[in-house]
Every structure is written in C-alpha cells, then in structure tokens.
Amino acid sequence: MKKPGEYVELFRSMGAEWKWLLRFVSRYRLQIVLYVVIGLVGTAMGLGANVASKHLIDSVISHDSETIVRSAVIAVALGLTQIIVNAFISRVASVVGSRINSEIRGNIYEHIIFSRWESIRKYHSGELLNRIEGDVSTVSNSIVSFIPGVFTRSAQFIGCLAVVLWYDPTMAIFAFMSAPFLVLSSRVSAKMMRKYNKESREMNGKILSFFSESIQNLQTIKAFDITKRYAEQLKNSLQIYRKIRLDHDKFSIIMSLCLSVIGLVVTYTCYGWGVYRLWQGKITYGTMTLFLQLSGQLTSSFAALVALLPSSISIATAAGRIMEITDLPLEKHKDSEETEKMAESANEKGITVSCENLTYTYDDAKEPVIKDISFSVSPGETIAFVGPSGEGKTTILRLVLGLVEPDSGTMTMTDAESNKVNVSESTRRFCSYVPQGNAIFSGCIADNLRIVRPEATDEELENALRIADAWSFISELPDGMYTEISEKGVNFSEGQVQRMSIARAILRDAPVIVMDEATSALDAATEEKVLANIMKNYPNRTRIITTHRPSMLNYCTRVYRISKDGRLSEVEK
C-alpha cells in the first residue's frame, strides 16, 4: 500500500509537470477559452433539451396541443443546436490539437539538436523518437480535451444537480450513492495509472530503440547469421510490453466493471424512487422521464470528473518525459560576437588552435580521459594524435569542435591579427569535420555535400569531389552527383562514402580541418592523393587528425601520443 508521503510526492511531481504543460499551452489560451465557452453552451443546450422533453411529455398527457407544439419545437431546436455545437467543438479540438502536436514536436526536436552533446548522448535515438512521437501525441491529443473537459463536465454536473434538486432533493441523494466508491477508486487509479503509463512508455522506448538499431545494422546481423537471435529478442521484448498492456487493460476493465455495476444500482434506485413518487402522484410522467435522464447524466458527469484524475496522470507522465528532454542544458554559443569579428581574417589567413593544461572527464566517468594536455597547431601545419583505441583521441577532437567543455585548462583559437577566443559552440564555424565511421545521409550526393553550404554551385561541388578523389567514380554514375544515396550509403563502398565525407568537409572551406580516422577505408595510393590535394589546394588550413595508420604520419608536422592515463607527449614520426 502506498504511504501518504508517497502520494504527496506523486502529486507534487504531477504538479510540476502540469505547471510546465500549462505554461506551454498558455499561448493557445484564446482557442481553449473558445472551446470552453462552446462546450458550456453545448452543455446548457443539453440540459435545456431535457427540460423541454419533460414539458413535452406532460403536455401530451394533458392533451395541451398548444404546449405540445411549443415544447416539441424547443426540444428539437435545442437538440439540433447541441449537435452543431458538438461538431464545432470537434473541429476546434482538431485544429488546436494539431497545432500543439506540431509545435511540441518542433520544440522537443530543437532541444535535442541544441542541447549540450554531453547531455543528449545518454539517450538512445529510439527513445528520443518515442518521446517525440508517443509522448507528444498523448499530450497534444489529451490536453485539448482535458482542460475544457474540466469546465464542461463540472458545468454538466452542477447543472444536472441543480435541476434534480429543484424537482426532488431526495433523488439527488440517490444519484450520489456512487460518490464514495468513485472517490476511493480514483486514489487507487492514480497510483496504478502512473505505474502502468511509465512502464509501458519506457518499454515501448526500448522496443523502438531495438527496431532502430537492428534495422540500421541489418547487414551485420545477417553476416553473423544471428537473425533468429534478434527475432527472439524482439519477441521477448514484445511479450513484456504485451504483459504490461494486458495488466493495464485488466485493471481498467475491473475498475470499469465495478463502476458500471455501481452505476446500474444507482440508476435502478433512482428509477424505483421515480416510480414510487409517480405512484404517489407527487410527480408527473414528464418529471419521471427527466429524472431518469438526469440521474444517469449526474452519475456519469461525476464519474467523468473523477476519471479526470487518471487522465491527468497519463498526460502528466507524458509531459514529464518531454520535460526531461526540454530541461536539458542548451549550448550557450558564447563569444558569438567575437567569432563573427574574427571570421574574415580567419577564412583568409587561417586560425591557430592552442591547448594549455587541459583536463576533461565525461559526466558518466570517474576518471579524466584527458589529463593536463597542451599542444598548438598553426595555419599550414598538420598534427596527428595517435594511441590505442579508447584512450582519448576522439575526445580531443570533440573538445576542438566545442562539443564538450574542459574541466580545467583552456583551448583557444587565434587569428592572424592576434584576436583570441575560447573554443566553444560558436567557434565551430571555423571547423570542417570528417567523422569516424559512416556519416552519410539519405538523399542524393549533391544534397549531402550542400548540407554544409546550401548555396554551393555544381562546379564547386565537382571541385570538392575532385580534391577528395571521389569524382572518378561519381562521374561514371548515370545521374552523377545527383545519384540517390540509400540509408547509411549501402549502395556505395566504405571507401567511397569516406571520400564523399571528405569532399563535404572540403566544400565547407573552413580554416580548421578536423579528421577522425578519415582515411581508414582508403588504400595507400588514394590516401596519399587525397592528403596531397588538400595540402596543395588549402595550404593555409590548420589540420588536426587522429589515425592508426603510420602512413598518415608522413604528412604531419608533429605527432602526439596519448597514454593510457590520458597524458599527451610529442613523439618522433
């Protein structure tokens, strides 16, 4: 059993999630207010139609033809108006819901791409997609109906209660027989709904991550002949997810069954009381019909109000998972004005990258991966970092690219006019990057290159491809540089993909070229040709590379080795 303190913590957490959510949807307050007003009008129309039906029945029994016509016209008019109002409400909900869905999806995507790399890297891509799609859909589809629902359900409940009290206060007491059970069940529902929602969303995230990863690596899975193992893993995950959903459905069915039984008891009790009062001659047939209509509406509206609590928990759970992403620290882009001033000089005369006594530790690590390192590289120079895999070479490049910030020490960029700025997100404009591994996108070859320079002409693209020694095979393709690239570039060899990545970095034409194992898939002759082309065509560029290939070191001004304890030392080539 949940302790009182745990309930306090539960509702406190929900309060924070709802506070964030209401702050986000406040921009739609006019539409939501319109939705509420229309909903209240529809509720009033419904109650008016019930009362008009009561007078119609009494008029028929008393053979009052004049009142019959008037009551029938009023009842039909109110009923038709309610139908039109409900249709309009559905349209408003659709319009506002789609806008909220689009904007929250856009908002969370922006937070993902603008968040600090160190923070966002902890989430699997499948889990991020689950939050963008699943959680955002839950929030956008529910929030539009939930907030107005609080007002319309309350108005319906108060209206029904007022009419019943007006005609027979005792009937209201019978209609409220289910209230204690509904309140008690809401407490149990709050705990269970939170549990099931969280478990199902987390498990669905894992399944989406599994789908994403296994499909992207399908070639490897087939090559190792482990397709059956992966199929079994998915079946096991789906079984777990299915069990969570079935447990949730079982709980919902039991709660619904209990509520239905209670509702049936209340309805027949009200029915019996109405028959008794009718037999006594205390009420008319019209009032009896009105009681039967309103007793059900009174019970259902109260049940709907109580059911808003589990709904609010489902919405809050989804909002909390979105909050977790939107609360991640964003990149600061500090010193943007300074880098803007340095841009012209840097592009023309180059940039010097200097590092002094720098130490860096990953958030999830206990020991620094880089300890007290220092180096400097000027325009026209090439430096290489060598050492065993996992010892910090790529980390140094991440520091150069401003993806992570050092614990201590400094890394700076200085132009020919001695303007100096600390390396950060803003200094990435000075860098071209060739990543380790496959970093090609779907689309055509030209689209992939123009990612870094959308305005580049076909001639500029061809020139970059020639320098990267990629034009030799691209020119022979039926569509040339407009040939489509399959997902992860599977219709090209690894070496061809690598050369296209190098061409993309060349096209960017930045003063600092950062290459992470950039020629690992090239043969020695091609590697030599590509590096010679880069040095010939861009002599004033600052080049920083990591490599395991001794042949690359022939092109380097200096070589640094990283030791197992994260120290840096210059070595003879």
pLDDT tens digit at each of 573 positions of the chain: 445 555 566 667 777 778 887 777 777 777 778 778 877 887 788 777 777 777 777 777 777 677 777 777 887 887 788 788 778 777 777 777 777 778 888 888 888 888 888 888 888 887 888 888 888 888 877 777 777 778 888 887 777 777 777 777 776 676 666 666 666 666 666 667 667 777 877 888 788 878 777 877 776 677 767 888 888 888 888 888 888 888 877 877 777 677 667 766 766 777 777 777 777 777 777 777 777 677 667 667 766 766 677 777 778 888 888 888 888 888 887 778 888 888 888 888 899 999 999 999 988 788 899 999 999 999 999 999 988 877 788 999 999 999 999 999 999 999 988 899 999 999 999 999 988 877 788 789 999 899 899 999 999 999 999 999 999 999 999 999 999 988 777 888 888 999 999 999 999 989 999 998 888 888 888 888 888 888 888 889 999 998 877 877 888 899 999 988 889 888 876
The CATH number for 238's domain is 1.20.1560.10
CB neighbour class for 60 (10 Å; exposed up to 12, middle 13-18, buried from 19): middle
Same-domain pairing of 304 and 347:
no
The single-letter code of the amino acid at 422 is N
- The answer to the question of residue 136 being in a domain is yes
- The answer to the question of residue 331 being in a domain is no
Same-domain pairing of 170 and 213:
yes
Same-domain pairing of 311 and 459:
no
Residue 434's beta-bridge partner residues? 515
Same-domain pairing of 342 and 299:
no
Same-domain pairing of 346 and 304:
no
Same-domain pairing of 409 and 285:
no
Same-domain pairing of 564 and 508:
yes
- The answer to the question of residue 357 being in a domain is yes
Same-domain pairing of 364 and 492:
yes
Same-domain pairing of 346 and 251:
no
Domain range for 88 is 4-326
Q: How many residues does the chain have?
A: 573
Going by their DSSP bridges, the two strands 351-360 and 408-415 should be labelled as antiparallel
Domain limit, last residue, from 326, 355, 380: 326
Distance between CA atoms of residues 404 and 371, nearest Å: 15
Which helix or strand (DSSP H or E) is residue 513 part of? Answer: strand 512-516
Residue 377's beta-bridge partner residues? 353
Q: Residue 444: how many CA atoms within 13 Å on its side-chain side?
A: 13
Domain count for the chain: 2
- For the four alpha carbons of 283, 285, 288 and 293, in that order, the dihedral sign comes to negative
Q: What share of the chain is helix, strand, coil (3-state, %, to 5)?
A: 70, 10, 20
Distance between CA atoms of residues 294 and 354, nearest Å: 79
Domain limit, last residue, from 326, 353, 385: 326
3 φ, ψ to 5°? -80, 155
- The answer to the question of residue 515 being in a domain is yes
Same-domain pairing of 311 and 361:
no
- The answer to the question of residue 89 being in a domain is yes
Q: Buried b vs exposed e over 190-208: b needs ≥16 C-beta within 10 Å?
A: bbbbbbbbbbbbebbbbbb
- The answer to the question of residue 182 being in a domain is yes
Same-domain pairing of 33 and 180:
yes
Distances (CA, A) of 455 to 106, 260, 295, 461: 25, 65, 69, 10
Q: Are 327 and 20 in contact (CB under 8 A)?
A: no
Distances (CA, A) of 458 to 450, 455, 476, 509: 10, 10, 16, 15
The single-letter code of the amino acid at 55 is H
Neighbours of 81 (CB within 10 A): 17
The CATH number for 484's domain is 3.40.50.300
Distances (CA, A) of 434 to 121, 320, 546: 19, 37, 11
Which helix or strand (DSSP H or E) is residue 559 part of? Answer: strand 558-562
Distance between CA atoms of residues 385 and 568, nearest Å: 9
Q: Are 299 and 265 in contact (CB under 8 A)?
A: no
Same-domain pairing of 174 and 319:
yes
Q: Are 217 and 173 in contact (CB under 8 A)?
A: no
Domain limit, last residue, from 280, 298, 326: 326
